Chain A
Amino acid sequence: MESHITYPHFGPLTLLFKAILQELEVPEERIVNPSTPNKRTLALGSEHSPEWMCTPFKLSLGSQIECIERGANHVFQIGGIGTCRASCYGPLQRVITEDLGYEVKFTNIDYHLPFDMMRDLQSVSNNFNIWQTLKALRKIWVKNYSLDLTEHLINFYRGMEIEKGETDRVAKEIYDKLFSIHKVKEVKKYHKQIPEIFKEEVQIDEEADPLKIGIIGEIYVVLEPLLHLDLYRRLNNLGVICRNTVSLKKFTDLPAKLNPFVKEYYKIYREKARPYIEQYCGGDGQESVGATILLRELGWDGMVHIWPFSCMPELSAQSVIPSVTNDIGMPVLPLIVDEQTGETGFQTRLEAFIDMLKIKRENERNGKPQEKISWETFNYD
C-alpha cells in the first residue's frame, strides 16, 4: 500500500516540514499537509486524549486525526527517550489512533539523535542517499534562520507601524518568496536583505517609546497562535514590541549541534539559569529562567511566561521565577493556557501588566531622555 505521509501541526515547523518533504522529492499526492488548526481541532483532540495530558498533545492529536481522515496513513511524530512527556507523544498517539480504528504507521523521531533523524527522513525520500538527504535538509535549516529573523522583525515593526497592517503584508510577501527559492546560496543572499526590506517598506513612528517584552515558556505554546491566543499581535496592538526566546533552531540546527565551537542559543540561556536551576529539568524550564536574567541585563522591561496547564518543566521554572524577580527586578507575568482559556481575561491581564510596566519605567527613568530604539539595538542574537 502506498503511504500517505503526514505530520502534526507545530507552529512554523509545519512550513518547514512541508518544505523538507518537497526537497526530498516525495510526490505531492502522497503528502497530507495539516491545515491551520482551529477550535474544532482542539475539541477533537481533547475528546480522545487523556484528561490530564498537556494541551499541545491534545492539539497535535486533533490535527493528526483530521489528517488521517483526509487519507494519511504514515505519521511523523516526536518519540524516543525524553525528560518530560513530550517524547511520549508518538507512542501514546499510536495507541489512541489504533483504538479509534485507524490503520496508521508511526515513525517517531528522536530529536536528540540527529543521525537517526536523518535516516528516518531518508527512508521516505525518493531513493536519496545520505549525502543527498543532508543537502535537502541543509536548505531547511538555512530557511529556518530566515523564518526566525522574519518572526522577530514582524514583532518589532508591528508594534511601531503607522499604517496598520503594513507589516503583515510585507511579511506575507517575504514568506512567499522564501519558500519559492530552492538554492541555498540565494536563500542566504535573500536572508541578508530581509531587514532592509522591512526598513524600506514599513513606516515606523519615530517618536514612539515602546516597551520591550520577552516571551518565555513552553515551545509549542509560544509558537502556536491558537494556543497563545495571538499573544504577539495583542502585545503589538498595545504598542509594545516583543520577541520570543524559544526557537525551532533547537531541533533543526544541525551544524550548530555538530560543531563543538558554536554555542547554541539555548545553551547560553541554560548557563544563565545555573544559579537558580542547576540541572536540566526537561522541556524549556531552564531556558525560561535563563532568558529572564539575560534580557534584564540587556535592559528589557518585562517578561510574559506562558505555559500549558500541567506542564511539568515550566512549573519548576515558575516556582523559582518569583525569587528571580525579587533578585534582579524583572517583572514576569505568568499565564496558563489550556483548551478552555477565555480571551477577555487574557486581554485584561495583559493590559494591566503593561500599564504597571509603564509606571515602573517612568519611575526608573526619573526624567532621563528615552533611548532611541532601532532594530540593531533590539536584536541581540
Chain B
Amino acid sequence: MREKNISKQYSKRKKRVGFPRALLYYYFKAMWESFFKALGAEVVLSSPTNKITKDRGVLETLDDECYSTKLFHGHVLDLLDKEIDYIFVPRFASRKKREVGCPKFVALADILKYTKDNLPPIIGPHYSTSREKHGFWRLVKIIFEIGFKFTKNPLRIIYAALKARKDHKTAMKNISIDEEALKKWENSEILLNDAPLIEDGEKPLKVALIGHTYMLNDSFASLGVRQKLQKLGVDVITSEQMPRKLLERQILRLSMVNYGLEFSEPEKLPKKQLEKHLIGRNDYLYFEFEHEIVGTAMHFLENKSIDGILMLVNFICGPVSVSMEYAKQYAKKIKSETPIIILSLDAHTGEAGFQTRLEAFSDILRMKKSTETIPKSVKMVSGSIIESWS
C-alpha cells in the first residue's frame, strides 16, 4: 500500500525543466519561465555563476571559445547534478527579418549533446526568421511540440503561450525606460538604480554601462561592476535600459551616408528621401544583440550629457569585435569629448586590477568635471593636461 502511494506520488511529480543561467536566458527569462510554469512544469535554474562553474566550464570547452560560452558549459554541468527531466537550450537564430543573433547559439544544443554524458533530453526548437523565413506558424508548431511533452490539454498550451507573451512584454517594458525618463536622468533629476555612495554636497557621476545583458547581469562574470561603481559614487544606466526606439534610430543612422548626422529622427523621413541617404541596400549591422551596444554608445557620444562610457566586453566575442569598432570609429568621427573605456573580461581577469582601473576611471572623470579638484601638484607639474581639459 505504501509503495503504491510512493509510485503514485512519483508519477504525479512535476516534470523538471532545467535552464542554464547563461547567454539567452538573460534576454528571455520572463517568457521562458512563465511558459513552462503555466504548462505545469517545474523550472530548475543552475546556481548563480561561481568559481566552480567557471573552472568546470573552462575545462570543458575549446581554448578559443568566448568567455560566456565557457560559463554556459559550466552552468550545464551544474544543472546535471540537479535531477532534471529536460534541459532547455533553444537553437535560436533570429527573430526579425533582417537581424540575427550569434551563430554560436544555433549549435549550442548539438555541442552539448556530443560533449556531455548523462544529458537529459534537450528541448531545442529551431527558430530563424532571416534565413529559413520562419514565421507565425513555425512558432505555433514549436509551442505545441513543447506543450504536448507536459500536458495533453491544448487549451492549456495556448493559455501558457499567451501568458508567456504577456509576461515577456511587461518584463521588457519594466527593464527599458522611455525617452522622457532618459532625458530626466541625463539632467540629474532622477536616479535609475540604488543611490550611489557619495559625500555630502557632491553630485554622483553619470556613466553608461554598456555590454551584453548576460555579462552585466551576471555579477560574477562582470566582477560585480555595478556594486563597485555604486561604491565609487557613480550612477549608471545600462544598455538594456535604453529606450528601444532610440536604439533602432541610431542603427538606422549608422547605415546612412555620413552617419546620418544631419538627421536627428531619420525614421520620420519620407521613404524615398530615406533611401536616397542610405549607403546601399546591403550595408546594415545585422547582429541583433549588438544594436543596444552600438546604439547606446552612439547616443551618449554625441549628446555629451553624461560623464563617461564604460564598455564591458567578454574576451573573443565575435559580434562584439564588430560593434566595438563601430563605437570607436563613431567617437573618432564626431570628435566626441565623452571619454570611453573598454574593459575586456575573461576567465583569468583578476579582481584587483579591475578595481584599480575602475577607480582610476572614476577619478579621471571627477577631475575632468571640475578642474578645481585637481591636486595642486598635478597643476604645477603639467600645465598641458589642464589645457586639454579646459
Residue A353, interface by CB 8 Å: no
Residue B335, interface by CB 8 Å: no
User: Which of B44-52, B223-231, B238-246, B315-323 is the interface stretch?
Assistant: B315-323
Name the B residues within 8 Å of A84 (CB-CB). Answer: 103, 318
Check if A79 sits within 8 Å of B91, measured CB to CB. Answer: no
Chain B 78-103, CB-CB to A under 8 Å as 1, else 0, gives 00000000000001010000111011
Check if A94 sits within 8 Å of B279, measured CB to CB. Answer: yes
Residue B356, interface by CB 8 Å: no
Residue A80, interface by CB 8 Å: yes
Whether A99 contacts B333 in the complex (CB less than 8 A), given A81-B130, A280-B131, A309-B64, comes out as yes
Check if A83 sits within 8 Å of B93, measured CB to CB. Answer: yes
Residue A323, interface by CB 8 Å: yes
- Which partner residue on chain B sits nearest A77 by CB separation? B282
Name the A residues within 8 Å of B281 (CB-CB). Answer: 116
Residue B378, interface by CB 8 Å: no
Chain A 75-90, CB-CB to B under 8 Å as 1, else 0, gives 0000111111101101
Check if A310 sits within 8 Å of B316, measured CB to CB. Answer: yes
Central interface residue in B103, B106, B109, B333, by most chain A CB within 10 Å? B103
Check if B321 sits within 8 Å of A79, measured CB to CB. Answer: no
- Docked CA distance A336–B109 (Å): 24
Check if B114 sits within 8 Å of A318, measured CB to CB. Answer: no
- Docked CA distance A85–B106 (Å): 15
Q: How far is the CB of B206 from chain A (nearest CB, A)?
A: 28
Name the A residues within 8 Å of B321 (CB-CB). Answer: 50-53, 85, 310
Whether A90 contacts B282 in the complex (CB less than 8 A), given A52-B318, A278-B126, A320-B114, comes out as yes
Whether A323 contacts B114 in the complex (CB less than 8 A), given A90-B282, A310-B316, comes out as yes
Check if A276 sits within 8 Å of B329, measured CB to CB. Answer: no
Whether A91 contacts B284 in the complex (CB less than 8 A), given A99-B329, A281-B103, comes out as yes
- Which partner residue on chain A sits nearest B324 by CB separation? A50
Residues of A93-123 at the interface with B, using a CB-CB cut-off of 8 Å, are 94-96, 98-99, 106-110, 116
Whether A312 contacts B324 in the complex (CB less than 8 A), given A79-B283, A83-B93, A277-B110, comes out as no
Whether A85 contacts B318 in the complex (CB less than 8 A), given A278-B91, A313-B103, A315-B65, comes out as yes
Name the A residues within 8 Å of B324 (CB-CB). Answer: 50, 52
Name the B residues within 8 Å of A85 (CB-CB). Answer: 318-319, 321-322
Central interface residue in A285, A312, A323, by most chain B CB within 10 Å? A312
Residue A283, interface by CB 8 Å: yes
Check if A276 sits within 8 Å of B110, measured CB to CB. Answer: yes
Check if B286 sits within 8 Å of A279, measured CB to CB. Answer: no
- Docked CA distance A309–B62 (Å): 12
- Which partner residue on chain A sits nearest B128 by CB separation? A279
- Which of A49, A106, A281, A317 is the one whose CB lies under 8 Å from B280? A106
Check if A88 sits within 8 Å of B93, measured CB to CB. Answer: no
Check if B279 sits within 8 Å of A88, measured CB to CB. Answer: no
Check if A92 sits within 8 Å of B322, measured CB to CB. Answer: yes
Residue B140, interface by CB 8 Å: no
Residue A319, interface by CB 8 Å: yes
Name the A residues within 8 Å of B93 (CB-CB). Answer: 83, 279
- Docked CA distance A94–B104 (Å): 26
- Docked CA distance A319–B57 (Å): 13
Residue B115, interface by CB 8 Å: yes
Residue A11, interface by CB 8 Å: no
Residue B325, interface by CB 8 Å: yes
Central interface residue in A107, A279, A318, A323, by most chain B CB within 10 Å? A279
Q: How far is the CB of B341 from chain A (nearest CB, A)?
A: 16
Check if A320 sits within 8 Å of B110, measured CB to CB. Answer: yes
- Docked CA distance A323–B110 (Å): 11
Whether A108 contacts B115 in the complex (CB less than 8 A), given A85-B322, A319-B62, comes out as no
Residues of B103-122 at the interface with A, using a CB-CB cut-off of 8 Å, are 103-104, 106-107, 109-111, 114-115
- Docked CA distance A149–B127 (Å): 38
- Which partner residue on chain A sits nearest B320 by CB separation? A52
Check if A336 sits within 8 Å of B280, measured CB to CB. Answer: no
Supplied contacts A52-B318, A83-B93, 12 more A-B pairs, CB within 8 Å:
A52-B317, A53-B322, A79-B283, A96-B325, A98-B329, A108-B283, A279-B107, A282-B106, A285-B107, A310-B64, A319-B114, A323-B114
In the complex, the 6 A-B pairs of residues with the closest C-beta atoms, listed nearest first: A282-B103, A79-B282, A316-B107, A52-B321, A108-B282, A323-B114
Residues of A within 8 A of B (CB): 49-54, 79-85, 87-88, 90-92, 94-96, 98-99, 106-110, 116, 276-283, 285, 309-310, 312-313, 315-320, 323, 336
Q: Can you report 30 A-B residue pairs in the complex whose CB atoms are below 8 A from each other?
A: A52-B316, A52-B320, A52-B321, A79-B283, A81-B99, A81-B284, A81-B286, A88-B287, A90-B283, A91-B285, A92-B325, A95-B325, A96-B329, A98-B333, A108-B280, A108-B282, A116-B281, A278-B110, A279-B107, A279-B126, A281-B106, A285-B103, A310-B318, A316-B103, A319-B65, A319-B107, A319-B111, A319-B114, A320-B111, A323-B114
